[in-house]
């Protein structure tokens, strides 16, 4: 609510009232769907000035299961993670990897820089991924920082 006043504050009134409605999918709050919105604008005496209700259907596109954190760590230990192309590793090799931070994002198959437009899939695959910031340590104590990428979905 916004309150507006006139004449030195002697006349006060509500100039705007609003409400925000978010979508929840499988218990997760979704705030980034630009298409989803409910807009209501009221005028004098509650007169309806504008009403916009845009709430498209969302369908399950993929039924792969999400990996648990121990499963993600096991995949990293097995070498299933991708190293950032800009990583520099300690000269003495890697004896230990310390995960220091992470970011979850969605990788869309059409984002691949080498795919030609004509070979891009009609329905791109969208994969949830984790980018881990990591410190690579050698046996003799040398350290370098870098990144590791891993998908967080498993087989159906």
* pLDDT tens by residue, 44-91: 677 787 888 877 666 666 667 788 889 999 998 898 898 988 999 998
Kindly report whether the global pTM for this prediction surpasses the value 0.75.
no
Strand pairing partners for 29?
24
Strand pairing partners for 30?
23
* Of the candidates 117, 116, 148, 153, the residue with the CA atom closest to the CA atom of residue 134: 148
Query: Mean pLDDT for the chain?
Result: 76
Give the single-character DSSP code of 76.
H
Q: Most confidently modeled of 40-49, 92-101, 114-123, 125-134?
A: 92-101
Provide the percentage of residues in the chain whose pLDDT is more than 70: 65
User: What is the rounded distance in angstroms from the CA atom of residue 38 to the CA atom of residue 19?
Assistant: 9
Which has the minimum average pLDDT: 5-19, 34-48, 78-92, 113-127? 113-127
pLDDT of residue 100: 94
Distance (Å) of CA 125 to CA 60, 120, 132 = 13, 10, 22
């Amino acid at each position: 609510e916004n309150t507006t006043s006139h004449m030195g504050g002697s006349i006060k009134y509500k100039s705007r009232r609003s409400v925000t409605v978010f979508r929840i999918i499988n218990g997760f709050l979704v705030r980034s769907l630009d298409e989803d919105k409910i807009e209501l604008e009221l005028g004098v005496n509650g007169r309806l000035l504008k009403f916009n209700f845009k709430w498209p259907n969302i369908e399950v596109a993929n039924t792969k299961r999400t990996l648990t954190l121990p499963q993600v760590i096991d995949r990293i230990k097995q070498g299933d993670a991708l190293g950032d192309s800009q990583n520099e590793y300690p000269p003495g090799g890697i004896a230990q990897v310390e995960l220091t931070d992470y970011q979850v994002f969605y990788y869309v198959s059409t984002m691949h820089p080498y795919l030609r437009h004509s070979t891009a899939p009609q329905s791109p695959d969208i994969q949830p991924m984790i980018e881990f910031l990591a410190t690579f340590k050698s046996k003799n104590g040398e350290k370098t920082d870098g990144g590791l990428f891993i998908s967080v979905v498993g087989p159906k």
